[in-house]
């Protein structure tokens, strides 16, 4: 018999808690974080256009991440948290 070792680092340990759903966008302040990929802004604006057909809301900020491959900077996240009720973002290439 031989005993060998598992080479993996195991599952991610952090807990991700889903944000509370607003249920509606009516009357809310919406923030957008675009990941910076070409055409990503157009996709998000198209999504906003579709949402405006159903809801009445204000787009407060439209932000672009400085680095595609990293999470949005803390200052950007704070700006969204301080000035918006919900945020729209997306991943893609």
Partner 1 sequence: MIDPLIADRISVDNLDAAMELYFERGWTDGLPVVPPTEMKVMEFLDYTGLHPEQPVGDVPERDRVITAEHLAINAVMAGCKKEYMPVLVASVEAICDPDFKFNHMATLGSAWPMLIVNGPMGRDLGFNSGMYLLSAAGNRPSSTVARAISLLFWNCTESRPDGIQRGQFGNPGRGHYCIAENEETSWDPLHVMLGFDRDQSTVTAVSTYPGPYQVYCQRTASPELMLDSMVDAISTYDFYRGTYILIIPPHFAELFIQHGWSKHDVRRYLMDNCKRSVADLKRRGLWGLHSSEYHGFAGVAQEVQPGDEDRFASVFKHDEYDRIMFDDTTLLRRSDIYVVVGGGNAGPRLCFLAPYGVSTDPKTVAIRPP
Q: Which residues bind partner 1 (CB under 8 A)?
A: 1-9, 12-14, 36, 38-39, 41-42, 64, 66-71, 93
Question: Is residue 93 within 8 Å of 50, Cβ to Cβ?
Answer: no
Kindly state the smallest distance separating residue 49's Cβ from partner 1, in Å: 16
Q: What tokens were used for 46?
A: 């198209």
Across the beta sheet with 86-89, the strand order is 58-64, 29-34, 86-89
Give whichever of 77 and 85 is closer to partner 1, judged by the CB atom: 77
Kindly state the smallest distance separating residue 74's Cβ from partner 1, in Å: 13
Please report which helix (H) or strand (E) contains residue 42, including its range.
Answer: helix 40-52
Neighbours of 67 (CB within 10 A): 10
Kindly state the smallest distance separating residue 35's Cβ from partner 1, in Å: 10
Q: What is the 8-class DSSP label of residue 25? A: -
Give whichever of 6 and 75 is closer to partner 1, judged by the CB atom: 6
Give whichever of 53 and 70 is closer to partner 1, judged by the CB atom: 70
């Amino acid at each position: 018999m031989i005993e060998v070792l598992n080479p993996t680092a195991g599952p991610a340990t952090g807990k991700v808690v889903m944000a509370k759903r607003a249920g509606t966008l009516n009357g809310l302040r919406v923030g957008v974080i675009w990941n910076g990929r070409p055409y990503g802004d157009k996709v998000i604006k198209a999504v906003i256009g579709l949402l405006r057909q159903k809801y009445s809301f204000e787009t407060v900020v439209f932000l672009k991440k400085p680095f595609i491959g990293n999470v949005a900077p803390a200052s950007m996240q704070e700006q969204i948290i301080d000035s918006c009720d919900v945020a729209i973002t997306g991943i893609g290439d």
